[in-house]
């Protein structure tokens, strides 16, 4: 197996600021698709036992609460979510930083709202700290398409790998004929 393949045993999922208010600010992608993909990532991580770290910023303000569906999909991660007090780079929040390190994983999958504010800076720091990072582009969005493109290019030039929800789920499945692969296939709606 190729050494850079992400598996549930060697990677963690970080979902940043998928909040009711922040989601409404995005115009770079279809909002329903971004929401569906973010929730699917949480569902998949939970199903395969992959560490899942959720974070939000200023839930009591205009950013609003984390998407309520996370509570049903990933109750433990939702309860343990890191509520930041306005810190833009989530890695600068001591509790989030500690939660990421506590996963024990050096490969991370990241998605969030907005790409150009809440995703780019933690990704750049994670790369600086020696993490391998995949950014899920269709579970992230920005104020504008141009802003989203600039953030994605900046992260890619720094060493992050751009991916999609279907691509990372397929990578995590490894083999669709295994019990894990079949379970993920069902969660993706590809099997009955």
Residues designated as active site = 118
Please provide the distance, in angstroms rounded to a whole number, between the alpha carbons at the two ends of the chain: 29
Closest CA relative to residue 84, chosen from 50, 115, 122: 122
Question: Rounded to 10 degrees, what is the CA torsion of 95, 88, 29, 71?
Answer: 30
Query: CA angle at residue 109 from 33 to 25, to 5 degrees?
Result: 40
Phi, psi of 59 (to 5 degrees): -55, -25
List Cβ neighbours of 52 (8 Å cut-off, separation of 6 or more). 12, 13, 15, 42, 45, 46, 74, 77
What are the beta bridge partners of residue 153?
A: none
Q: What does the block give as tokens for 69?
A: 């569906």
């Amino acid at each position: 197996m190729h050494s850079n393949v992400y598996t549930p045993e060697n990677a963690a999922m970080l979902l940043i600021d998928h909040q009711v208010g922040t989601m409404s600010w995005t115009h770079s992608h279809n909002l329903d698709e971004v929401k569906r993909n973010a929730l699917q990532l949480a569902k998949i991580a939970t199903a395969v036992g992959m560490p899942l770290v959720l974070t939000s910023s200023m839930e009591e303000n205009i950013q609003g609460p984390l998407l309520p569906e996370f509570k049903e999909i990933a109750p433990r991660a939702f309860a343990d979510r890191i509520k930041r007090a306005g810190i833009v780079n989530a890695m600068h929040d001591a509790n989030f930083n500690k939660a990421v390190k506590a996963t024990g994983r050096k490969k991370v999958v990241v998605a969030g709202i907005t790409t150009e504010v809440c995703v780019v800076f933690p990704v750049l720091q994670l790369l600086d700290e020696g993490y391998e990072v995949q950014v899920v582009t269709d579970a992230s969005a920005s104020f504008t398409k141009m802003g989203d493109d600039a953030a994605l290019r900046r992260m890619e030039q720094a060493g992050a790998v751009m991916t999609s929800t279907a691509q990372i789920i397929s990578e995590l499945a490894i083999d669709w004929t295994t019990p894990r692969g079949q379970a993920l296939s069902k969660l993706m709606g590809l099997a009955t």
